[in-house]
Amino acid sequence: GLYSNVDGMKAQLAAQRTAVQTAQDNYNRRRSLAAGGAISQEELSHARDSLTSAQSALNNIQQQLSTSVALVDDTVVSSHPDVKAAAAQLRQAFLANARSTLVAPV
């Protein structure tokens, strides 16, 4: 449901933050190496592109999470879809029981 979607997005967000930090560290290392001429500008450019891509993915996940949270925000227990479904099942079970009970006259 929507709640599990939010939980999944939070996990994705944490993983992507780690990916951004890794890409940032990688870029910083490569920038130092490029300044000393140890690596080519092309390799530095690839590291910058990887960082930009990771940051874009992070922004995308943050937007999706915001959208998902907006859908479940202000939801109380009584209006939760699982609670409403359980209430409907209870009503159906009650009606089925009432219809199947035959009271004998005494």
CA pair distance 28, 30, nearest whole angstrom: 5
In this prediction, residue 90 carries a pLDDT of: 96
- pLDDT digit string, tens, across residues 37-76: 999 999 999 999 999 999 999 999 999 999 888 877 766 7
CA pair distance 61, 11, nearest whole angstrom: 10
Cα–Cα–Cα angle for 92, 93, 96, rounded to 5 degrees: 85
101 pLDDT band (50/70/90 cuts)? confident
Map out the domains of the chain with their CATH numbers.
2-75 (1.10.287)
- pLDDT digit string, tens, across residues 11-39: 999 999 999 999 999 999 999 999 999 99
- 61 with 13: CB under 8 angstroms? yes
In the chain, the N- to C-terminal Cα span, in Å, equals: 51
Residue among 75, 52, 56 at smallest CA distance from 5: 75
What average pLDDT is seen over the chain? 90
In sequence order, what are the residues at sequence separation of 6 or more whose Cβ sits closer than 8 angstroms to the Cβ of residue 57?
Answer: 16, 19
